[in-house]
Amino acid sequence: MTEIADLTATQTLARIRGGTLTFEAVREALAARIAGREPVVRAFAHLNPAPAATAGPLHGVFFGVKDVLDTADQPSQYGSPIWAGWQPRADAACVAMARGAGAAIMGKSVTTEFATRFPGATTNPHNPAHTPGGSSSGSAAGVAAGFFHIGFGTQTAGSILRPAAYCGVVGFKPTYGTLPRGGMKVMSESLDTIGILARSVADCALAMGALTGADHSDPGVAPRPPRLALVGATGDTAALMHRVADACRAAGAEVVELTLPPVIAAGLEAHPWVMNMESVQALAWEFLTARDQLSPVLRERLAEAQAAPAARLAQARAAFFAAQNAFPAAIEGFDAVLTPSAPGEAPAGIHATGEPTFNSLWTLLHTPCISVPAGQGPQGLPLGVQIVTPRGQDAACLMWGEWVRRALA
């Protein structure tokens, strides 16, 4: 029998509504799991000692909030000593929306430094000698470990989808701008997107529906098998993607390898410049007044970006716009793109969080994308595969993500 702490949000709500489970029993089960595993996993930047909730569609669902999103009742420290002990007066908009829907906030989950490269202390719940990925490290690890049902994450390059893959959970990055960024420590105005990590696609649909009011109630109902564009099935990911493609074909999908046009590749090459040069702007106060408290890797990155001519940012943004405009035609005739979530299993060590090789493109294109578990690699650690749809097609992304997940089951 599945332990209470391992139930999905959807399963938890069904039991509460059926009278076989209570909010208090869920809270106690999650607290016991945290007490047993948090000393090793280290998913929390701050643990709420008494999470409570009001009535609503998410009553009984517990969230972890990435520590770049403000909370009125818990510190927001952004993964940096500069902000140690900082207590905002208000919740971030998405956190307030979750509370308004009846969710309980279990705590603040660990982020890398300002959601960039320098990692926190979180370990992978599947093997603590490996990274959980980043920058939404604590949210991914906390969901995987059974500490909370849903984790808020943010993505500038690959910060939702890569840790989801490494930790064996589902990560959903909606269309850019779907969840409001009020109360978020933003790093890149052109890129930063708030999303969620969960134990199932159905949980992602549940949470997004409750937060936005959109109808994502049943992602498991697909009208037919999809036509999928296979992108990135090369090198270390070739075996995984060919296995995934074969499973999808066996379930009735048409899968066709696709090479994206040069204009989209040019957008990807521009991504680091937009990300880094906008981060200089976002961290202007910290870089000016507390530079010695930034990690060496972030100081170097910001100094390099600050020295670049302003025209480079304008050129990089223009490359973004061109890629965004070209993408719909590039995948015309396909329902979704099928691509790796990460270069492989979670790397050993927790002093780096892996590379966003297969994520940055979709972030800059502002498309919805979802990572679903795709078995294990040679070290016994989780693998993931991404499903990507055009901007605004979030419901379709969830639906085809669930279709692929079932094809792989």
Known catalytic residues are 66, 135, 159
**Amino acid symbol at 166:** Y
What is the residue whose two structure tokens read 């693998």? 383
To 10 degrees, the CA torsion angle through 284, 319, 359, 258? 180
* 315, 259 Cβ separation under 8 angstroms: no
The 8-class DSSP code of residue 347 comes to P
Cα 256 to its chain centre, rounded Å, is: 27
Contacts of 318 (CB under 8 A, 6+ apart): none
CA distance 230 to 332: 13
Q: Which of 21, 24, 403, 82 is nearest to 224 (CA)?
A: 403
SS3 57: coil
Count the Cβ atoms, other than its own, within 10 Å of residue 334.
20
Q: What is the DSSP string of 251-279?
A: TT-EEEE-PPPHHHHHHHHHHHHHHHHHH
CA distance 78 to 88: 12
The strand pair at 170-173 and 369-376 is best described as antiparallel
Q: Which of 238, 254, 195 is nearest to 383 (CA)?
A: 238
Q: What is the CA radius of gyration of the chain?
A: 20
